[in-house]
């Protein structure tokens, strides 16, 4: 981190009031404004609905770490008497520039100073990267790092001291950013929450293309979204009880052997069955992309139990999801036809050309040496980032770090049965990962379970523990299966 005292104007002193932060000078950074915001509801551009917040100082700034960078970020600073002494950086979703204002408001209301960035561009269109390699790098990894550095300097100026602990909290692309921070900048954060991470970005894009191709490349009978509930119902019925509890949730879809062939139409196509091409397409979606030449599995398939989420990415869509990634970033050819994609040669080319957009380094020794703690979670019913890929990354880290014991002391994975992408789904999907991380970092209490809840119409109707992988929640044999207290965390196959 830069030495702050080298970059302060004489007029700016430690413990400056909110409006005094506009006089702060940091290389490559412009403070646009610093405004005191009163407690109550606020409505900012991009918010789905107004948020209620405690009083804070809102700092807007721009970072220019390269000649082609323009990274906008915000720092929300609670008053000194309301600050818990900690900082929480937040991530983004997809390729979008939208800041996670909801996540920032939650952090602020818990006493954290917090920050978010637009990752160096506006909107979610991938055109921002055409001819701008540095902007791609800003999105991929650099924006969060420089946002973090400069936010700490701003906090130092406001409070007269740096945060005691700094955490990062993100899901999806935010989870990707979280793992990138642990890999590339291990000293930035004391603790990191990585949710449903899209860190295997190139192969995730290939996974979307594979699923879409399975449905539309050769099929005379594309799968309509109206049939997805039929498939989901059959999959859940076949595998619901595999975890010892019949509750409408598939515990671990890797143990689910449901074959869509049981839904094959016998007397013509109708809403109650699947045609032969539809059956084969669903099988391909479950299996995931494979290199036809080598037989190598390229990426995890989408799990059984995630079917109702497929329309958002590859069912009833006019083109493959994130098709612009291939057109604009990989091939630089706006008229490129997705039907020509070669999962051998073209993927190898993309792996080499776009390697910087991934966050796949499994050597987390520098982060561990920093005494950093990492909590990763993934929904087992995620229809966007296949959960098996998250498991594979975690297991690869274990191998690199010398085994489970040498990994679990700083990095733990929590799988959430029935949870969709970052939230939602039929399973318990609301839980306090940051709270568990804080206990681990500040008090040395490693999370042995994180209680998650599910709500309907705003009322909690189910709770269950999320367990450190490979453990899973096992019903004790008595007590309500809707109560977390009725479950123990055990290794697979263990039963009371």
Q: Which residues are catalytic?
A: 172, 382, 421
Q: Among the residues of 166-275, which ranges form H helices?
A: 173-184, 201-216, 228-239
CA distances from residue 347 to 59, 306, 333, 334, 350 in whole angstroms, order as listed: 42, 26, 16, 18, 5
CA distances from residue 496 to 244, 248, 455 in whole angstroms, order as listed: 11, 21, 28
111 Cβ contact partners less than 8 Å away, ≥ 6 residues apart: 78, 82, 83, 84, 86
In angstroms, rounded to a whole number, what is the distance separating the alpha carbons of residues 321 and 94? 11
- What does the angle CA 243 – CA 440 – CA 405 come to, to the nearest 5 degrees? 60
- Nearest Cα residue to 196 out of 401, 416, 448, 469: 416
Rg (CA), the chain: 23
- Nearest Cα residue to 260 out of 279, 284, 232: 279
Assess contact for 150 and 73: CB atoms under 8 A: yes
Assess contact for 165 and 85: CB atoms under 8 A: yes
For residue 451, give the H/E element and its range: strand 450-456
Is the bond leading into 470 cis (omega within 30 degrees of zero)?
yes
CA distances from residue 24 to 29, 160, 329, 422 in whole angstroms, order as listed: 9, 13, 37, 37
> What single string gives the DSSP state of each residue in 310-371?
GGGTTSS-SS-TTHHIIIIIIS--TT--GGG--TTHHHHHHHHHTGGG-------HHHHHTT
CA distances from residue 175 to 92, 325, 461 in whole angstroms, order as listed: 9, 19, 28
Q: How far does Cα 218 stand from its chain's mean position?
A: 33
Assess contact for 298 and 343: CB atoms under 8 A: yes
Three-state secondary-structure class, residue 475: strand
Three-state secondary-structure class, residue 457: coil
Exposed e or buried b per residue across 380-402, where buried means at least 16 C-beta atoms within 10 angstroms of its C-beta: bbbbbbbbbbbbebbbebbeebe
Query: Exposure of 54 by Cβ count < 10 A (0-12 exposed, 13-18 middle, 19+ buried)?
Result: middle
In angstroms, rounded to a whole number, what is the distance separating the alpha carbons of residues 479 and 494? 18
């Amino acid at each position: 981190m830069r030495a702050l005292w080298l970059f302060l104007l004489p007029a700016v002193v430690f413990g400056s009031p909110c409006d005094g932060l506009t006089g702060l000078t940091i290389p490559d950074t412009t403070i646009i404004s610093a405004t005191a915001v009163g407690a109550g509801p606020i409505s900012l551009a991009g918010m789905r609905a107004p948020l209620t917040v405690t009083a804070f100082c809102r700092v807007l700034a721009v970072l220019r770490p390269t000649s082609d960078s323009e990274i906008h970020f915000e720092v929300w600073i609670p008053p000194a008497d309301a600050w818990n002494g900690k900082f929480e950086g937040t991530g983004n979703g997809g390729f979008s520039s939208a800041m996670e204002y909801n996540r920032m408001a939650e952090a602020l209301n818990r006493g954290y100073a917090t920050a978010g960035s637009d990752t160096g561009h506006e909107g979610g269109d991938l055109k921002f990267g055409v001819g701008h390699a540095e902007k791609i790098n800003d999105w991929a990894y650099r924006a969060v790092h420089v946002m973090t550095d400069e936010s700490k300097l701003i906090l130092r100026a406001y409070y007269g001291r740096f945060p005691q602990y700094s955490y990062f909290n993100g899901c999806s692309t935010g989870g990707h950013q979280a793992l990138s921070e642990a890999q590339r900048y291990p000293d930035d954060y004391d603790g990191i929450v990585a949710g449903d991470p899209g860190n295997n970005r190139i192969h995730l894009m290939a996974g979307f293309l594979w699923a879409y191709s399975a449905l539309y490349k050769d099929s005379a009978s594309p799968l309509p979204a109206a049939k997805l509930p039929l498939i989901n119902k059959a999959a859940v019925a076949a595998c619901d009880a595999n975890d010892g509890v019949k509750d409408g949730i598939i515990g671990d879809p890797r143990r689910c052997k449901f074959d869509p062939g049981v839904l094959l139409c016998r007397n013509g196509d109708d809403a109650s069955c699947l045609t032969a091409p539809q059956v084969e397409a669903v099988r391909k979606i479950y299996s995931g992309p494979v290199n036809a030449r080598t037989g190598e599995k390229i990426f995890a398939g989408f799990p059984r139990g995630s079917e109702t989420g497929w329309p958002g990415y590859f069912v009833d869509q006019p083109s493959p999801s994130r098709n612009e990634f291939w057109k604009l970033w990989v091939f630089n050819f706006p008229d490129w036809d997705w039907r020509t994609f070669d999962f051998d040669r073209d993927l190898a080319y993309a792996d080499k050309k776009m390697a910087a957009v991934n966050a796949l380094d499994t050597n987390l020794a520098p982060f561990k040496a920093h005494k950093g703690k990492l909590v990763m979670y993934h929904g087992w019913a995620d229809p966007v980032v296949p959960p098996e890929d998250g498991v594979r990354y975690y297991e690869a880290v274990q191998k690199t770090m010398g085994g489970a014991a040498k990994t679990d002391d700083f990095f733990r994975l929590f799988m959430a049965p029935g949870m969709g992408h970052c939230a939602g789904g039929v399973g318990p999907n609301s839980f306090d990962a940051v709270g568990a991380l804080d206990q681990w970092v500040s008090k040395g209490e490693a999370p042995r379970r994180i209680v998650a809840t599910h709500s309907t119409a705003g009322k909690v109707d189910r709770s269950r523990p999320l367990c450190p992988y490979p453990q899973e929640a096992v019903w004790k044999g008595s007590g309500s299966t809707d109560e977390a207290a009725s479950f123990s965390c055990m290794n697979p196959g263990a039963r009371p």
